[in-house]
Structure 1
Amino acid sequence: MTEERRPQPNQGTGEGLRLEASFALIRGAAEERRFLSYGEVAAASGLPWNAARRRMDPHLFALCRWATERGWPLLSAIVVDKHSVAHGAMRGRPLIGFARAAERAGRIIGGDAAAFLAEEQQRVFAWAEKERGHVLYA
């Protein structure tokens, strides 16, 4: 049995945003099958959006890389811009950023980034349901 390693606070994320806090927030939202805003992720680390904005992309990529190493879906798929929280569908820059992070994490997007995002969001929700109640890091 391999030992799960806890995400390291601030590892590769820039000062302030904490992987452990983001993971806990995303996991909880995924168990409720709901989407989160980038601002909610910032707040989970005790930061206002304006202080976290430039750090968010590298932070979410680090979270995706950490999840990919464990065979999990791209957890940041359910983190969307504030206008998309109700439905999860992203367009424009947020969608492009997610697709680039997915490719950097070794995922193949195909020709339709929006469809890939929707599929990955469903994978995150299914993962959360499957892992409900399990300790995923020590």
Structure 2
Amino acid sequence: MTGAALDRRRSFAAIRAAAEARRFLSYGAVAAASGLAWQAARRRMDPHLFALCAWATERGWPLLSAIVVDRTSVAHGAMRGRPLIGFARAAERCGRIVGGDAAAFLADEQQRVFAWADKERGHVLYA
């Protein structure tokens, strides 16, 4: 699958479906939504999720990638280490103030994503 790319529309649909179900999804699930294996998508995931967050920010939506977590965090959503640092940096690049507690910021943003999904349920958001 060399040359295959992560697809924003498919990633958005997967994230929105997970948010409507109030569940977290893995980076691998985002890759799979575009028909890619994790290994094929791995190096592209951070810029892809940042672009998705920037796009969402332009629309006044929360940082949609907040519910995309590493495989070991899918059950609870609480990230640590590199994934949390990456999310916090992306949030700051989107103009958000993370503050001194990135984990608390993430948890708040995850709740915002779930609330957004509830509010927008049934609405066409990506035409």
TM-score by length of 1: 0.89
Q: How big is the shift at 1:15? A: 5.0
Write the distance in 1 (CA, Å) between the matches of 2:126 and 2:27: 23
Identity of aligned residues (%): 85
- Residue 35 in structure 1 maps to residue 24 in structure 2: yes
Structural mapping, 1:1-138, within 5 Å = 15-138=4-127
Write the distance in 2 (CA, Å) between the matches of 1:81 and 1:41: 11
Secondary structure of 2:82 counterpart: helix
Gaps of 5+ in 2: none
Write the distance in 2 (CA, Å) between the matches of 1:86 and 1:137: 28
Larger fraction in helix: 2
Secondary structure of 1:103 counterpart: helix
Write the distance in 2 (CA, Å) between the matches of 1:15 and 1:109: 33
Give the RMSD, CA atoms, in angstroms.
0.9
Moved over 6 A (4+): none
Write the distance in 2 (CA, Å) between the matches of 1:44 and 1:16: 11
TM-score by length of 2: 0.97
Query: Across the two proteins, how many residue pairs are aligned to each other?
Result: 125
Gaps of 5+ in 1: 1-13
Secondary structure of 1:97 counterpart: helix
